[in-house]
Structure 1
Amino acid sequence: MPEAARAWRIVLEKIESDLLDGALGPGDRLPPERELAATLGVGRSSVREALRVLEVMGLIRTGTGSGPTAGAIIIATPRGGLSALLRLQVAAQGFPIDDVMRTRLVLESAVAGALASDPQRDTASARTIVDAMDAEGLSPAEFLALDAQLHLALAEASGNAVIAAMMSGLRSAIESYVLAGAEQIPDWDATVTRLRSEHRAIVAAVDAGDAIAARTLIHDHITGYYAEAGLSRA
């Protein structure tokens, strides 16, 4: 029998292979633990460990007992797993802040351009958040939490599930980094006034269908804050 330390990986590799080959797909039920263990020559504890990993990754849903909801079922919701992985990497400081910024520039410029070019775009959620950011008396933490929500709302409105998942995972990085940077800004009130104006300009460009302006505005918005807060070495 394979070493326990790596046996659960054999289960993952088998399921991955079946997904790639089309032998498994969303809605399909995995074989019972005992059957997987016997087929792959691993212990049932290794199968359970692999299933726990897959559930955390958002690739399966498990249910106990019997009936149509029992067992492990493939589900097509990878966003939760990808977001969780990115959040954990950010929490462990696995990503340099400059890399986070550059990734945001790539993703959010693409989002702004795609949204502006889409005649069916829906920016209602983004506009609601922009309005909420006009409230008086918001603390830096409250304002920047809304800021992160706005950028996520734009990503979700783009309809690109991969970008939305990545932005969701990076959200905690966005909030923590920009909040740390806020402490270095000498005139926070002036910065808030500028950020509010920039947010409205970005959403207005998207609503006007001006993809070039939307991409430029969001690029300058992100790089401007990072530079002002002393967060970027670029």
Structure 2
Amino acid sequence: MAERAWQLVLERIERDLLDARLGPGDRLPSERELSAELGVGRSSVREAFRVLEVMGLIRTATGSGPSSGAIVIAAPSGGLSALMRLQVAAQGFPLTDVVQTRLVLEDAVAASLASADVRDTAAAHDILDAMDADDLTAAEFLALDAHLHLALARSSGNAVIAAMMAGLRTAIESYVLAGSQQIDDWDAMTVRLRAEHRDIVAAIDQGDAGAARTLVRDHITGYYTAAGLTSGAHP
């Protein structure tokens, strides 16, 4: 049992995610609570958390304040996207290449979703609401930000684009988080990003493909520039 204790924790959390008892923005029980409930050591809980974080399902933060612990940032997806995230993290693609590819993919997502006869943005709206919480750290906010863009890609119905976005997600989170440290007024930036996200989703909901494409491009390049990540590049 000892060798597989972390899997017990993993199965419990994944089951809660699959059954929608947990969703993006929710916090997991503490290590102490899960350890007592499942009868496993806290080291097993930490191991399960590490696996879930690598899979892109949760984001953990150390400390003892209200922002510590683990927050859910995604629902379980197929093994392909998890594998691609690991590949991207290992390869370390150049930032400019990541941004240029992201612009191409997200332009296609915005156009496809806005032009569709049926536009399912329910998951995106759930994440928008989760991002309104005022106790999110920068890392948690930006993890939800990345998941919002991934949720839109999945909603587009193009499995290849969705998998590619999932594969880029680690690289995207890495550069946007690094950029956040260069922004003097992070609170003002979160207000701006929330508004931009809602404008993008609203344009999609209204079927305005042109506006959605312009908004998503301005959103990506705007943050890239505000965070001082241009370095002479032209995304």
Task: Please report the TM-score for the alignment, with normalisation by the length of structure 2.
Answer: 0.63
Between the aligned partners of 2:134 and 2:84, the Cα distance in structure 1 is 35
| Displacement of 1:134 | 0.6
1:147 aligned partner: 145
Whether the 8 Å CA contact 1:83–1:166 is kept in 2: the answer is no
1:88: Cα distance to partner?
Answer: 1.8
| SS of 1:166 mapped into structure 2 | helix
Q: Which runs of 5+ in 1 are unaligned?
A: 1-78
Give 1:82 deviation, angstroms. Answer: 6.3
Matched, 1:156 2:154: yes
Amino acid at match of 1:126: A
* CA–CA separation in structure 2 for the residues paired with 1:119 and 1:81: 28
After superposition, the CA RMSD in angstroms is 1.4
Aligned to 2:88: 89
Question: Does the CA-based 8 Å contact 2:89-2:171 persist in structure 1?
Answer: yes
Return closer, same or farther for 1:155/1:181 CA change in 2, 3 Å cut-off: same
CA distance, structure 1, for counterparts of residue 208 and residue 199 of structure 2: 11
Q: 2:84·2:166 contact (CA, 8 Å) conserved in 1?
A: no
Q: How many residues align?
A: 155
Alignment match, 1:23:
none
SS of 2:219's equivalent in the other structure is helix
Structure 2 unpaired stretches of 5+: 1-77
Matches within 5 A, 1:120-139: 120-139=118-137
The aligned residue for residue 112 of structure 1 is: 110
Post-superposition offset of 1:81: 3.8
Q: TM-score, normalised by structure 1?
A: 0.64
SS for the counterpart of 1:231 is: coil
Asked if the contact 1:112–1:214 (Cα under 8 Å) also holds between the matched residues in 2, the reply is yes
Measure the CA separation in 2 of the matches of 1:112 and 1:122.
12
Percent identity at matched positions? 65
Cross-structure match for 1:190 = 188
Cα drift, residue 137 of structure 1: 1.5
Shift of 1:86: 5.3
Structure 1 stretches of 4+ moved >6 Å: none
What is the rounded CA distance, in whole Å, between the counterparts of 1:100 and 1:167 in structure 2? 10
Higher Rg: 1
- In structure 2, the CA distance between the partners of 1:82 and 1:139, relative to structure 1 (3 Å rule), is closer
DSSP 3-state at the match of 2:183: coil
SS in 2 for 1:137: coil
SS for the counterpart of 1:200 is helix
8 A contact 1:185–1:228 mirrored in 2: yes
Q: Distance in 2 between matches of 1:97 and 1:223?
A: 12
Q: 1:84: Cα distance to partner? A: 2.0
* Residues 1:85 and 1:123: Cα distance change in structure 2 (over 3 Å): closer
